[in-house]
Amino acid sequence: MLIDDICKYFPPFAFLSAEDKKSVEFYSYPQQIEKDELLLNTENLGCDNIIIVKEGRLRVVSERAEGRSITLYYLNEADICVLAASNHLYRSHVSIKIIADKTSQIIKIPVALYMELEARYPNIATYSRRLFADRFSDVLYTLSGKVFKKDEDFLKEYLMEKAAQGEDGIIDKTQDEMAKETAIARSHISQILNRLRADGVLSMDRGRIHIKDIKKLL
């Protein structure tokens, strides 16, 4: 049952009354998101759902008017996104996009229902605020790294993270995609990658990067 999955990923829901569990089961729904599919753009449309990642990985992005963007954080299996819905939950304005980094299975819980449960179950309110704080910390960490770190150091951290997410140190990202995700100019990314290749850290072939010596990225 869907409610069992929701309780697994969102523990406070296990303490709902039987009637409230039926409501959550009735109004929530699963959805499959294909790789690179845009799930949400809060600039054009507010988020009306709490999102639970059952399988796969989503990328949460902030994009500027001129088209430059930066990946704020990733939502992996069992992660819950409340930041996108914070416009409803906390009357804040968060402008982000959520994109499927790989084909993903998600569960959506309507914000209206969630807010009603929050008002009646203090443990849900406490848990969601902790999730919001954790995600906001992720955003601050990413932005502070972008502001205070050199582009090369920032890119190295990005490469280590993507290599850990892939298989055998393979990163299936083009330089254009990397530029969008890191907000580093593509020409600068190319220079950094070429230096790393010359140092034997990685190899490149048709939009794929193979990290050969991850210790050299540290």
DSSP string, 28-95: -EEEEE-TT-EEEETTTS---EEEEEEEEEEEEEEE-TTS-EEEEEEE-TT-EE-STTHHHHSS----
**Dist CA 62 CA 41 (whole Å):** 10
* Residue 212, both tokens: 């050969």
* Amino acid identity, position 214: I
Name the CATH code of domain 150-217 (choices 1.10.10.10, 3.40.50.720, 1.20.1050.10, 3.90.79.10): 1.10.10.10
Q: Do domains 2-147 and 150-217 have the same CATH topology?
A: no
Q: What phi-psi label fits residue 149: left (phi over 0), alpha (psi between -120 and 50 degrees) or beta?
A: beta
Q: Where are the domains of the chain?
A: 2-147, 150-217
User: Quick one: pLDDT at residue 40?
Assistant: 83
User: Quick one: pLDDT at residue 8?
Assistant: 94
The highest-level CATH class for domain 2-147 is: mainly beta
**Dist CA 209 CA 206 (whole Å):** 8
Report DSSP letters for 79-107, one per residue.
-EE-STTHHHHSS-----EEEEEEEEEEE
Residue pLDDT tens, the chain, 218 long: 899 999 999 999 999 999 999 999 999 999 999 999 999 887 766 678 899 999 999 998 887 655 667 888 889 999 998 876 665 555 555 678 899 999 999 999 998 999 999 999 999 999 988 888 888 888 887 877 776 788 888 888 888 888 887 777 888 888 888 888 888 888 899 999 999 999 999 888 877 899 988 888 87
* Residue 139, both tokens: 């955003």
**Dist CA 45 CA 196 (whole Å):** 41
Strand partners, 81: 51
User: Quick one: pLDDT at residue 136?
Assistant: 81
